[in-house]
Chain A
Amino acid sequence: MHSGRRKALQGAGGLAVMGLMAAAGLLRPTAARAEWNKEAFTTKSFADAVKAMGGSQPTESHDILINSPDIAENGAVVPFTISSKVPNTQSIALLVEKNPNILAADFEIPQGTEPWINTRVKMGQTSRVIALVKAGDKYYYNAKEVKVTLGGCGG
């Protein structure tokens, strides 16, 4: 009886279980983190975004470096290199203050991975860009103004 049930489960559920594990975030190092933080990605202000990501009152830190062009000709593709010298950096998030939704991307940095990320994001208009770092249970940020001459979110 038992073996029959087990077989049925294996046959029908194998792939589904993998999918569920991925969905539940079990394949990630920190299971506590939701698969996709919808709340954080729909916030409009820095304070709300930090709150939705589980933090509060981030401290400004010049140990976080934002490397990007000062003037972006094409807002659809603005390259950013973010690096953090904050000890025990666990995650790096990139936020564009004047985009329709402020949070652009959040990177989890497991131990052994450098707190260094290079990616490209869209900017609707000239805006302050914020890099938010989580270290331990504290949040740190640094910001930089990037001028956009042609927006990347227009219709």
Chain B
Amino acid sequence: MADPMKIRARMEGDLVEVKVLMAHEMETGLRKDSSGKLVPAWFIQNVTATCNGKTVLAAEWGPAVSKNPFLSFRFRGGKPGDKVAISWVDNHGDKRTDEATIS
């Protein structure tokens, strides 16, 4: 199981600003290790964010997203105390969901 995400969700006026830091290698599949062998691709493919049961962001990623991906976005309709849940699925089918409370 992958390490937990760091999620911060904060009100900015009437918007909720979400910042997420995920722990993932994001291997492109093009890099070679010290013995010259290709390191197989291993990267997050799908990211979904929900708040109060509504999807507030859905993303498809390729291996070009940086290692330990950072993502920030803003949405309307959240209020302090609501929970924002972020999920990702990688190309191995590994997945992780974490939550943060809007402050």
Contacts and interface: CB of A to CB of B under 8 A. Distances in A.
A106 B59 contact: yes
A155 B46 CA distance: 26
B74 A153 contact: no
A117 B61 contact: no
Chain A interface category by residue count: 35 or more
Interface of A: 22, 27-29, 35-37, 41, 76-79, 96, 99-101, 103-110, 112-114, 116-123, 152-155
Nearest to B50: A27
Contacts, number: 109
Given A22-B89, A120-B70, A121-B66, A112 B28 contact: no
Interface in B9-62: 15, 26, 28, 30-32, 45-46, 48, 54-62
A29 B30 CA distance: 33
A120 B64 CA distance: 9
Q: List the 4 closest pairs (A to B, CB-CB), nearest first.
A: A104-B64, A118-B72, A155-B32, A113-B75
B60 A37 contact: yes
Interface residues of B, number: 33
A112 B77 contact: yes
Contacts of B56: 110, 112-113
A103 B76 contact: no
A116 B32 CA distance: 35
Contacts of B46: 35-36
B75 A112 contact: yes
A101 B66 contact: no
Given A105-B64, A122-B64, A153-B28, A113 B57 contact: yes
Nearest to A81: B72
B79 interface: no
Contacts of B54: 110, 112
B62 A107 contact: no
Contacts of B32: 155
B66 A110 contact: no
Contacts of A107: 57-59, 73
Given A101-B62, A101-B64, A104-B62, 19 more contacts: A35-B45, A35-B46, A77-B66, A103-B62, A104-B65, A105-B61, A106-B59, A112-B56, A112-B77, A113-B74, A113-B75, A114-B74, A118-B72, A119-B65, A119-B71, A121-B64, A121-B66, A122-B64, A123-B64
